[in-house]
Amino acid sequence: MSAPSSVVPNLSPPVAQRRPTLMSYAMFILVGCCLCASLVGSLL
């Protein structure tokens, strides 16, 4: 979890400061999708 938190601010500091909730939700959604994809792939 340390990598995404360090990469996001470097790419867009103003956006992260203005709307931290949207950034956090986006990160959670991306992580969830990745986890679901990996689980489905392993099960299949």
Whether pLDDT at 9 is above 60? no
- Which of 29, 23, 25 is closest to 7 using CA atoms? 23
Q: What is the largest CA-CA distance in the chain?
A: 42
Q: Which residue has the higher pLDDT, 10 or 44?
A: 44
Across all residues in the chain, what is the average pLDDT? 73
Note the pLDDT of residue 22.
82
Cβ atoms of residues 23 and 16 within 8 Å: yes
Cβ atoms of residues 23 and 8 within 8 Å: yes
Note the pLDDT of residue 39.
92
Q: Which residue has the higher pLDDT, 36 or 4?
A: 36
